[in-house]
Amino acid sequence: MKNTIEIECPPEILMGLHMDSHRFAELIKLQSATALFRDGKLSSGMAARWCGMPRVHFLLQAMQAGASLLDNNEDDFARETALL
């Protein structure tokens, strides 16, 4: 089941960003997924599926956006390395 969320956006924003509504929606989705992952509210796998990309690609983009992949504790290290 998919849910659609409608967001109002003045045409000036789209024109200023040189984007159509589809590209803008994809940008908002990626930035939302990254922020939710960074805040610990969404797993990297769930965020990647939402954005329609492989997990490793999402993690690379999240890192470039400033997300930390590990909190540098043993639990995080064990959980992440178990996936390899």
Q: Could you report the per-residue pLDDT of 14-27, keeping only the tens digit for each?
A: 999 999 999 999 99
Read off the pLDDT of residues 37-62 as tens digits, 9 standing for 90 and up.
Answer: 988 899 999 999 999 999 999 999 99
What is the reported pLDDT for 72? 63
- Residue 2 domain-assigned (yes or no): no
- Residue 4 domain-assigned (yes or no): no
Which position has the higher pLDDT, 69 or 60?
Answer: 60
Q: How many CA atoms are closer than 13 Å to the CA of 4, on its beta-carbon side?
A: 1
Structural domain of residue 58, as residue ranges?
11-82
- Residue 58 domain-assigned (yes or no): yes
Q: Structural domain tally of the chain?
A: 1
- Residue 30 domain-assigned (yes or no): yes
Q: How many CB atoms lie within 10 A of CB 14?
A: 14
- Residue 17 domain-assigned (yes or no): yes
pLDDT value at 74 more than 90: no
- Residue 1 domain-assigned (yes or no): no
What is the reported pLDDT for 58? 94
Instruction: Give the pTM.
Output: 0.75
